[in-house]
Amino acid sequence: MPNFFLFGSFFLCLFLSLSSSVYASTVNIDNSGEANAAFINLKSDDTSLSLSTGQKSGHITYQIGGTYTDGVAIYVRPFPTSELAFPLNINVSEIRYSFRLNPKLIASLSHQWGISQYAGKMEDSDWGIAPFSNDPNSLDIFSKSDSQLNFNQTSLHIKNRPSKKRNYQFITQWNMQLGLLIDVENYDYSASNLVQYYPSTGLEPVTDAREVITYDVLKMASYLTASFTTPRKNRFTASIDLGFSPLMYISDHDNHILRDKTSIGKTYGWSLYKKTQLAWNVSERTHVFINWSSEFSKSNGWQTQYFTPTGDKLFEIRIKHISQQNDIQIGFKIDI
């Protein structure tokens, strides 16, 4: 259903933009009192389609600890007592469609998806775990597992069109645009081939080839953006996008299969992103580009843990999400 909604939204925006970029008619009354139809060409010179591919790297990490409750009493433990770090080392592709909404605004709708699934080693760390130790600084359990990732990201970016009469002066003549970016990301992990160590005791490692955990993440953010672009006068152009989201929401679902434990978390926080693009204007309508982008986010909230077979609630505990990711992509754009 999420993928159906994302692709449906994409083609709806495509249809609406094409419908609004053909011809509009008006009626003029001449001196004789007869009505004459006049047609105004509203076809946008901001319409383009781009395809790109590249590599994503980084991690999505969550930590739990600190305050927790079983519904009867409130307890406090050191933070963190547990940390799970999921890698983001996959290959991705992206399609982007840009069009003019009205004479003052342009929109860009994009969808990025993973074209490879192996993401790297997931790491799970636990401190101060009885019966191994009560020292909050003692790493008692540490494990690594092979992780597979299904990744999808959809974004809608609306910003003002660059003025042809005025350029904001930054370093040289760069056009500045302000906008709003709505971003939705889905991460569906599974991990297997567990190797678990016991650093504080020196016990022999334990291995298990089965699937040991699944982890699903939904991340939504609304960014305030500023874009800086060089005028398209030369063979090469450059652009820089900066974004800050004061409103970011994450929900996640962690299923520890071997422990019969399910954890559901909800957090709120902030996010920053930066994107740099260098483009070679092969012709008036064809462009080849390379993108570098990075994103960093933090959020805090609560996680509720359940006993999977019965669904009984175990306790609620504080949770923190930290995400850092980098993208590098090459692609081409065609002005329509």
Q: Identify the pLDDT of residue 172.
A: 56
Cβ contact 144:123 at 8 Å? yes
Q: What is the mean pLDDT of residues 166-194?
A: 84
Burial class from Cβ neighbours inside 10 Å (0-12, 13-18, 19+) for residue 31 reads: exposed
Using a cut of 0.85, tell me whether the model's pTM lies above it: no
Distances (CA, A) of 120 to 110, 123, 294: 26, 10, 19
Vertex 333, ends 287 and 96: CA angle to 5°?
155
Tens of pLDDT, residues 238-270: 999 999 999 999 999 999 999 999 999 999 999
Instruction: Please state, in angstroms and rounded to a whole number, the distance separating the CA atoms of residues 155 and 96.
Output: 9
Domain-embedded: residue 25: no
Q: Within 10 A of 70 (CB to CB), how many other CB atoms are there?
A: 12
pLDDT at 165 over 60: no
Domain-embedded: residue 168: yes
Number of structural domains (the chain) is 1
Domain-embedded: residue 227: yes
Which range has the worst mean pLDDT, 69-73, 79-83, 180-184, 277-281?
Answer: 69-73
| SS3 category, 9 | helix
Tens of pLDDT, residues 44-54: 458 999 999 99
Distance, C-alpha 6 to centroid of its chain: 14
CATH of residue 97: 2.40.128.90
Domain-embedded: residue 12: no
Domain range for 162 is: 46-335
Tens of pLDDT, residues 55-103: 999 999 999 999 999 888 998 989 999 999 999 999 999 999 999 999 8
Which range has the worst mean pLDDT, 24-33, 169-178, 247-256, 306-315?
Answer: 24-33
E strand or H helix at 58, and its extent?
strand 48-69
Domain-embedded: residue 217: yes
Q: What is the mean pLDDT of residues 261-288?
A: 96
Domain-embedded: residue 41: no
Q: Within 10 A of 102 (CB to CB), how many other CB atoms are there?
A: 11
Q: Identify the pLDDT of residue 77.
A: 87
- Give the torsion sign (CA, 70, 128, 139, 199): negative
Q: What is the mean pLDDT of residues 1-28?
A: 41
Distances (CA, A) of 59 to 223, 253, 279, 322: 21, 17, 28, 8
Q: How confident is the model at residue 137 (pLDDT cuts 50, 70, 90)?
A: confident
